[in-house]
A and B are shown apart, each in its own frame.
Chain A
Amino acid sequence: MNAIVLIPAYNEENNIGAVVADVIQRTPPYDVLVVNDGSSDETAARARRAGAKVLDLPCNLGVGGAIQAGFCYAVEKGYDYAIRCDGDGQHPAEGIAVLVEAMQTQETDLVVGSRFRANGSYKSAGVRHAGIFVLGWFLSLICRKRVTDPTSGFQMLNRPLMTFWAHSYPMDYPEPEAIALMRRQGYNYTEVPVEFRERLSGRSSIGDWDTLYYVLKVFLALMVDRARPVDPQYQRENVVRRLCADLTSTS
């Protein structure tokens, strides 16, 4: 399978080496691309040493901008699938096999690893947990399909969705909004249970006040997105048709 693992990383020099090594060791030979989001530390060098390719952004764009750069790269290089995981070690490399299996067996464009569907007791702080729960409930309502973990950055997507997200992707705290956007353009998603780990080192970038900002911002974005027209050029059927036409013209 022609897949690439995308890891956005901002100042993760303590984790990135282990994360990359883990992914390379535990998966079939997928390419690994670390998107270095303008880190001021050794992130890029350590990722290279661990065997990843590194896309060096000239300035800090935030997770959304960084991961979108990864999608652009994957589209440009002709990958069929992109797997996305975080650079802090929360997403176990064993989980990638679960995502791949779901992608192959189900009719779907996006597979999301959900920590809340897993049996294990994932510990997250009270305020943040409440925020995630409310968002998940609201997102499920908008998408008319259950989302238990709207903020999960552990995902696998196929080429049509990659094409759409390379064109438009939200900037900060992007995951819930991105799911609503793709759903509106006619793409489908599936959640699978994945056990997340605690971060390897360092603190999460999200505090309690950030959670409040996060929830409000995403609420506003979700409602505004509903009021925007659908972009026919990037609707699922049209993207798929274009990709098929490209395939037949090149072969």
Chain B
Amino acid sequence: MRGSDVDELRQQLLTGWDDAYVTRGIVLLAALFIIGMTARALRRRRIGVAPALIWLPIGAALAVFAALPEGTLYAIIQVPYLTRIRYVVGGISLLVLLVTWEAIRQTHLQERYALLWVTTAIVLLLVAIFPQVIGFLRAVTGTEYTTAVIAVAFTFLILVAFHFSISFSGSLSRQTRLAQRIALLEMRIEKMEEDHAARMSRRR
């Protein structure tokens, strides 16, 4: 796919964007709403920096989109398909890196769990900066750049999910042993308290 169908569709949608005040107004309002709510929640410390880092760019992107005149949008469309995809992938990977970083800093996400996320983000970033990195996978499977990127990202996400399954099983069995130990110790304490009380009353 060369992306010409997509671009044709976008051009149709964008024609008359300069005059579509209602649509642009709604988009702008939504953007301001998102930014406002996030800022408020952030100020009242309802949410951490990590979710704010997701919501604020979304709001900002919507606002920019509403404000952009038709000519600029056309200019964006003129940029080659591959370049645009690379920008998007790069943006996503930077976002993942930022969120992971903030999560480690703020919520004490343990580094060993963050490691796979960071690797995912770095691999995506590499693929965005150097598209030829993924050339081998494309040569073997014969897929387009985008498909190959998605395949790589998907593989890493599966790894992350599998990693979580394993560590979840581990903590589940540790939790079981802890609960058993607690119950046994509790029973022993009760017995000691009873014995103690009996001895005290006998002494009296």
**A and B: partners?**
yes
Interface on A for B, CB 8 Å cutoff?
A: 35, 53, 55-59, 61, 65, 68-69, 72-73, 76, 171
Interface flag for B140 (CB, 8 Å): no
- Which chain A residues lie closer than 8 Å to B173 at the CB level? 171
Chain A nearest Cβ from B41, distance in angstroms:
33
Name 12 extra pairs, CB < 8 A, besides A55-B187, A57-B180, A73-B187: A35-B183, A55-B184, A56-B186, A56-B187, A58-B183, A59-B179, A61-B179, A61-B180, A65-B179, A69-B180, A69-B184, A171-B173
Chain B nearest Cβ from A66, distance in angstroms:
9
- Chain A: which residue is nearest B178 at the CB level? A58
Instruction: Tell me whether B180 and A56 are in contact (CB under 8 A).
Output: no
Majority secondary structure of chain B interface residues (helix, strand, loop or mixed) = helix
Query: Lowest 4 CB-CB distances: which A-B pairs, in order?
Result: A69-B180, A65-B176, A57-B183, A55-B183
Interface on B for A, CB 8 Å cutoff?
A: 173, 175-176, 179-180, 182-184, 186-187
- Which chain B residues lie closer than 8 Å to A56 at the CB level? 183, 186-187
- Which chain A residues lie closer than 8 Å to B179 at the CB level? 57-59, 61, 65, 69
Chain A nearest Cβ from B92, distance in angstroms:
37
Instruction: Tell me whether B186 and A72 are in contact (CB under 8 A).
Output: no
- Which chain A residues lie closer than 8 Å to B182 at the CB level? 58
Chain B nearest Cβ from A237, distance in angstroms:
26
Chain B nearest Cβ from A246, distance in angstroms:
20
- Which chain A residues lie closer than 8 Å to B186 at the CB level? 56
- Chain B: which residue is nearest A38 at the CB level? B179
- Which chain B residues lie closer than 8 Å to A72 at the CB level? 180, 184
- Which chain A residues lie closer than 8 Å to B184 at the CB level? 55, 69, 72-73, 76
13 pairs of residues in contact across A and B, judged by CB atoms under 8 Å: A35-B183, A53-B187, A56-B183, A56-B186, A57-B179, A57-B180, A57-B183, A61-B179, A65-B176, A69-B183, A69-B184, A72-B184, A171-B173
Instruction: Tell me whether B176 and A171 are in contact (CB under 8 A).
Output: yes
- Which chain A residues lie closer than 8 Å to B180 at the CB level? 57, 61, 65, 68-69, 72
